[in-house]
Each structure stands twice: as C-alpha cells, then as structure tokens.
Chain A
Amino acid sequence: MWAGSADEQGVYALVSALGALFVRIVLQPFEVRYTLSVP
C-alpha cells in the first residue's frame, strides 16, 4: 500500500503539510468572522 522510498514519502508528507497550511490560511478570515460573529 505504502510504496516508495523514504525520500518519496518525505516529499508526500511535506507537500501535504504545506497544503494543509495553505488551506488554513485561506480559511482563516472565515474562521475569525464566524468565531467572533454576533447574533
């Protein structure tokens, strides 16, 4: 299932970590808006 060398796995992991960070940054304004929103 988990094919590939350690280097390949590292690249996958880095790309997913960066992707997750990017998505978080994009969603951040919405998160702040809805967390602090008043009725």
Chain B
Amino acid sequence: MPLGALLSAGVPTMVFFANGLTKADPYAQAVALYGLAAFLELLAEPFYIRAQRRSKFKLRLVTETIATLSRSFVTFVLVTRPATGITVPLAFAFGQLAYGTCVWLMFAAAQWEFVGEGIDLMLGRSSISWGTLTLLGTFTLQVRSNFDDSIDLHERLYLCALFALTHHPVMNSSIVSCRRRGNFYYLKGRREY
C-alpha cells in the first residue's frame, strides 16, 4: 500500500516536471487524477482479494458493472458537453476517477467489518501472530516442494488445515475434514479455544 501510494504520487509528479507542465495544464490535471484513481483502486484491492477468497463473486459482478457504467457515463457526458469547459483528457480522467471511487466504496461498504479490523491493527488494538504466519508459510512451502505434483490438491489442503488447526497457539483441534464441491474446497475443523 505505501509503495502504491508512492508510485501513484511519484509518477504524475515525474511527468509534471519532465514535461515542464503547469498546474493549469489540463494534461497535468488529468495525469494527477489518473494517479488518484489508481490509488483508490489500490485501496480497494484488499477488499477485492478478500471477497474473491470468500467466493463473493456476485459482489464483484455488481461492483464492476456499476463502476464501469459510471465511468462510461461520466466520460460520455463530459466529452459530449464541451460547455462544461472540461477538455477531453480531463473527461477521461474524471471517468477513471469515478470508476476508482465506485470500486473502492462498494467493496469497502460490503465488507465494512474488514475496515474495522484494519483500523484496530493500525491502532495496535489487535495484533497478528507473525510467528504462526511464518510457520504456516514455511510448512506450505515444504508441502509444495516435497510433494509438488505427486500430492493432489485435496491432500495438500488437508495437510495445511491440519497443521493450522493443531499448531495455532489459540486453537486445538482433533477433527479436520476437507470437502470438495466442484472446484471449491471446504475445510472443516472443530476449534477449541
């Protein structure tokens, strides 16, 4: 996220100075708006990945449909109404900004509790057990490299779930099952806190 913020601020600034533009130049304004739109889309990325991992495909369908329609609408209106005083590059930039805003707002609004989790993490009200994450990651890599193609996905998932449920500091579980429905895998475990 910080790297993305740096890039979306840095690239427009670089274009601005490299071409000797002024702030009044519509091209410079458009590049800045594109940078802002890119950052908004980046802000939506954690929500998007979370939604995908939770199989919330309808959310993506609705979000991207509305966002694309609003981008097209904004661009169309601004390009076909020169009376608004908005130049063509700016019209497309505002369209992109509308897209980024829609994507971020809708993904975040649908998973508002995730925002709370992020804020809690930043304020130090909750924490991630990095040790457990590292351990899990190491184990996952080991499973991958040791078995790779000789072990099927089902078995690999089962091993990871078993490891997670038995090694997590606050979890202790004896029952783990993995079910497959189509291309989706469901993990079930009895967690005892």
Interface residues of A (CB under 8 A from B): 1-2, 6, 9-10, 13, 17, 32, 35-36, 38-39
Contacts and interface: CB of A to CB of B under 8 A. Distances in A.
Given A36-B52, A38-B153, 11 more contacts: A1-B20, A1-B27, A2-B27, A9-B88, A10-B79, A10-B88, A17-B92, A35-B49, A35-B52, A39-B157, A39-B160
Nearest to A13: B92
* Shortest 6 CB-CB contacts between residues of A and residues of B: A39-B140, A9-B88, A13-B92, A2-B27, A35-B52, A1-B19
B143 A39 contact: yes
A24 B21 CA distance: 30
A38 B157 contact: yes
B144 interface: yes
A39 B156 contact: yes
Contacts, number: 37
B87 interface: yes
A18 to B, nearest CB: 12
Nearest to B137: A39
Nearest to B48: A35
A4 B101 CA distance: 30
Contacts of A10: 79, 88
Nearest to A39: B140
